Amino acid sequence: MSATTLLSLIAAAVIALGLSVYMYGFKSRLNLRLRWILGILRFMTLLTLGVLLVNPKIKKETYTTQKPALNILVDNSSSLQNLNRDSVVVDLSTALLEDAELNERFDISAFQFDQSFSPLNSLDFQGVSSNIAEGLQGLTTINGDQNAATVLLTDGNQTLGRDYASLGNRLKNPVFPVVIGDTTQFEDLRISRLNANRYAYQDNEFPVELSLGYTGNNAVNTVLIIRKGNQVVKRQALSFDPQGNAQTIEVLLKADQVGIQTYTAELQALASERNTSNNRQQFAVEVIDQSTRVAIISSIQHPDLGALKKSITTLKQREVSVMEPAQAVGKLDDYQLVILYQPDSRFTPVYQELNELKKNRWTITGLQTDWNFLNDIQLRYAKIGAGGEDQVSAETNRNYPIFAMDPVDFSSYPPLITQFGSLDVFVPYDELLSQTISGIFTESPMLFSFEADGVREAVWDAQGLWRWRAHNFIETRSFEQFDDLVANMVQYLSSNKRRSRLNVSYESFYYSNAQIGIQAQYFNENYQFDPEASLNLTYTNADGQSQRLPMLLKNNYYQANLDGLAAGMYDFTVTVDGQGIARSGQFTILDFSVEDQLLTPDVLKLSSLASNTAGSLFYEDQLGQLKSALMEDSRFVAIQKSRQNVVPLISLKILLGLLGLLLAIEWFTRKYNGLI
């Protein structure tokens, strides 16, 4: 208490005493006994009021006892059910949670993990993958600097996330792994990994890469068999021994049928093999009959021609021919798309044939373009009084409705060159790239597309495209952004499929352990993306059972998440409420459980985790030893904490009550003695 506060309290006491003596000590006609009683009451009342007015601060100290935390982290992945150890895990976790001695010593909490981490709710052992690292890191976040221990009930086989054994010092508290499962090693053949392209083209061969492994002490022989349905399409003899226990092989398969082709790769099992589920793996390839021939017509030599050809032929099924206008006449019907590079009067017969064939086209203009000719030969766009040179940059329209693009910022790319003048478009069009000069939007589009009289056309009013492709490589070490832009436009212009207000994007097949999602874009009558629409997805399995769910808006598309669906074939329909617009499709989910591949506990990693965190390793039949280790560990002791609070005296309600009581007693005394 400060000297000022002490002096204030003394002054309050002196004032209270003085006023009381003055009121009841002089010139009072009351008898002596009553004067003393009322004087003392008045003194105490005034003193209490003075103390409240001075309002000194007092220190209040509280004590709490904090027990160390004990986290029970339980593996909820399907591998434990495959090991027939699900009941063992339930019994162990229940025994730890309900143990009276452990509850007296620790503050116990329970958590579970599979592909995600959460508080323990109900163990169903249906997790399609296990992320041990996420569970351990989640506990580190929850515990903070609290003294804690973690008991980890798992087989140690992680199929998702970073290596948990390498977390080391990132985990602040010791981990006590309990190994679940039979640690006896048996002979085992397995397909560790299978890589195959999702797409192949008809009559081409496509590669399949398989990583194969063997566990055992003998030299063994087996056969790799790949089937399509019941037909064997590949058979290869293989040998393994303890030294040569891993092989990576590549086989070539023929894509002879269009559509989704499902294959099964299988290693012939050994006689002593107990786990044969990891000998077999399904995969699928969608065989496409899509060969696109593109003609680039130009009367000049320019580096843009090479850049365009490289971008288009990134996909091997696309063939590009570069020719002069005179060479192209009479051959245009052999191509799905014609690119007209900087047209001039020599293109007259080309335009005549294109109009007769109603052929889609892509016009690219620049300094060598004859705009007088171009304005006369077609009436859909024009640049009047074109001349001179202008350097222009581009801004991407992220709501371009024709096809979805990654959000590439082309404004950071080098300026392109065009002829000075305003480009006017006389038909409804969609603008992909807007023209800017020094960051200011002009009224002219740079790259746009439209449909008129059953013909699709795109116009790119700029030359120097090769600079963009080179810039893309310098910045990202790949041509992907530029090539994707060109490829998407070529794909759109090569097709005569009618434009739709509802576009649905999905894969023809998914693996059951991967994310499964269907995306859709919906446009209003002006073909502008509509973020206010209500889209729903209805899917039906092979048994005719249907389910409907809403599609959620995400950026500039709608999405439905179908993770967790069982393997099989599904039909689906996407509908827009109140619009009568729908799109349907079909996809297949292939059965693949990475949890089935490893049925032996990973004791080595769990032992490393225990060692790196100053914990200890136990087995499923060592519950008693685990309990003793936790109870006897001197690191896990309760901590008594004190907390000191400085509070103002006026916050103590008892003083206010005392003041009211004194006033009431004084009033009652005076009333009783007839003084009121």
Return the minimum-mean-pLDDT range out of 196-210, 316-330, 361-375, 633-647.
633-647
Which position has the higher pLDDT, 522 or 32? 522
Point out the least confidently predicted range of 35-49, 305-319, 454-468.
35-49
The string of DSSP letters for 191-208 reads EEEEEE-SEEETT-EEEE
Q: What is the pLDDT of residue 460?
A: 96
What pLDDT was estimated at residue 598?
66
Query: How much is the average pLDDT of 264-276?
Result: 87
Cβ–Cβ under 8 Å, residues 186 and 274: yes
State which amino acid sits at residue 281: Q
Same fold, 188-288 and 502-594: yes
Question: Where are the chain's structural domains?
Answer: 3-61+644-672, 68-183+601-637, 188-288, 292-494, 502-594
Query: What are the phi and psi torsion angles at 184 (to 5°)?
Result: -65, 130
Q: What is the DSSP string of 255-294?
A: --SSEEEEEEEEEPPPTT-S--GGGEEEEEEEEE---EEE
Residue pair 538/617 in contact (Cβ under 8 Å)? The answer is no
What is the band of 195 on the pLDDT scale with cuts at 50, 70, 90? confident
Task: Please choose, from the candidates 82, 66, 86, 60, the residue with its C-alpha nearest in 3D space to the C-alpha of residue 74.
Answer: 86
Cα distance between residue 663 and residue 49, in whole Å: 11
Mean pLDDT of 451-466: 93
pTM of structure = 0.50
End-to-end CA distance of the chain: 41
CATH class of domain segment(s) 188-288: mainly beta
Q: How open is the CA angle 463-468-470, to the nearest 5 degrees?
A: 125
Query: Residue 374 in contact with residue 348, Cβ under 8 Å?
Result: no
Classify residue 112 by burial, with Cβ atoms within 10 Å: 0-12, 13-18, 19+: buried
pLDDT value, residue 362: 97
Q: What is the mean pLDDT of residues 41-45?
A: 84
Q: Is 120 helix (H, G, I), strand (E, B) or coil?
A: coil
- Alpha-carbon distance of 159 to 288, in angstroms, equals 32
CB 453 within 8 A of CB 284: no
The structure tokens listed for 138 are 């989640």
Task: Identify which of 3, 48, 181 has the alpha carbon closest to the alpha carbon of residue 656.
Answer: 48
Rounded to the nearest integer, the mean pLDDT of the chain is: 87
Question: Domain 292-494 sits in which CATH superfamily?
Answer: Class I glutamine amidotransferase (GATase) domain (3.40.50.880)
pLDDT digits (tens, 9 = 90+) for 498-508: 567 888 888 88
Report the run of H or E that residue 466 belongs to, with start and end: helix 465-476
91-110 average pLDDT score: 93
The CATH number of 68-183+601-637, from 3.30.70.330, 3.40.50.2000, 1.10.357.10, 3.40.50.410, is 3.40.50.410
pLDDT of residue 668: 83
User: What would the pLDDT profile of 354-408 be if each residue is shown by its tens digit?
Assistant: 999 999 999 999 999 999 999 999 999 999 888 889 999 999 888 787 876 666 7
Q: For residues 204 and 200, what is the distance between their CA atoms, to the nearest angstrom?
A: 7
Report whether pLDDT(413) > 70. Answer: yes
Query: What pLDDT does 599 receive?
Result: 66
Q: What are phi and psi of 478, to 5 degrees?
A: -155, 165
**Measured between alpha carbons, how far is 170 from 612 in angstroms, rounded to an integer?**
10
Q: Look at residues 151, 27, 57, 59 and name the one whose alpha carbon lies nearest to residue 99.
A: 151
pLDDT at 344 over 80: yes
Between the alpha carbon of residue 101 and those of residues 25, 70, 646, the distances in Å are 69, 12, 38
**Residue 99 clears pLDDT 80, i.e. is over it:** yes
What is the mean predicted confidence (pLDDT) over 589-604? 74
How much is the pLDDT for 454?
82
Residue with token string 């005034």: 46
Q: Do the Cβ atoms of 619 and 184 come closer than 8 Å? A: no
Residue 548 CA to chain centroid, in angstroms? 23
At 425, the amino acid letter reads V
SS3 559: strand
* Helix, coil or strand: residue 553: strand
Higher pLDDT, 115 or 482: 482
CATH of 502-594, one of 3.40.50.300, 1.10.8.50, 1.10.287.90, 2.60.40.10: 2.60.40.10
pLDDT digit string (tens) for 169-192? Answer: 788 899 999 999 877 777 889 888
Report the percentage of the chain scoring pLDDT > 90: 46
Asked if residue 97 has pLDDT above 80, the reply is: yes
Residues 362 and 189: their CA atoms lie apart, in Å, by 55
Torsion angle, CA of 268/269/271/277, rounded to 10 degrees?
-160
